[in-house]
Amino acid sequence: MVISAEEFRKRWDEPTIRLNEDFLEGVPLSEQDRIFLLNVGFPEEAAPFLSFDDFKVELKPIHEKWGSPYDYSDEEKSRLRPYMVIGSDGAGNPIAIDTGNNCEIVHLDHDDWFNTVTFVNSSISNFALFLLLTKEMMEKANSELSEEELEDEIPESYKNEVLNSMQQIDPKAMEEGKFWRAEVGML
């Protein structure tokens, strides 16, 4: 399932941050993902605990956003150059476009200087769709359940429904140890 920029915008129904076309120069995106970033972009915040504040300012590799240029050896800069930061998780770990690997979306662990890279989604479009599915799951739970029922976390039946949908859209993203299974599990 692919979601168009128009459909995402309609279903998200909140302001989003669009990317300036100058930021995409030299980034080898599919035309669909390029159109999505220029026409819709990402929300400032989204479940599960994601922020896209960096996205409204620029699209740069990790080594140009974290620390100073002197913190990185030439080898580290070369290794990190493909990772264009679009946001971060609740712990401050970057979410990035991996331009060296078909523009997949990845999560990098800042605690080990970005050596641990976890696959998130196969494309920007799939990532956006997963954000939307997560948002819609939470809205559904909030509308159908009482505060008492939601006190600890969203019930497993809601999580399983969204995880099954995600499995159909981007199977690699749902493999054991990948980002979404753990993140949805914490909601």
Q: Average pLDDT by consecutive 10-residue portion of the chain (187 residues)?
A: 83 88 84 88 90 78 85 93 93 94 95 94 94 94 83 86 95 93 87
Question: Cα 93–167–98 angle (5° rounding)?
Answer: 35
pLDDT of residue 23: 81
Residues in Cβ contact with 163 at an 8 Å cutoff, skipping those fewer than 6 apart: 174, 180, 181, 184
For residues 15 and 43, give the distance between their C-alpha atoms in angstroms, rounded to a whole number.
Answer: 6
Q: What single-letter DSSP state applies at residue 177?
A: T
Within 13 Å of residue 132, how many CA atoms lie on the same side as its CB? 26
Does the model's pTM come out above 0.95?
Answer: no
Residue-wise pLDDT for 52-107, tens only, equals 986 666 788 999 888 787 889 999 999 999 999 999 999 999 999 999 999 999 99
Under DSSP, is residue 87 helix (H, G, I), strand (E, B) or coil? strand
pLDDT of residue 154: 87
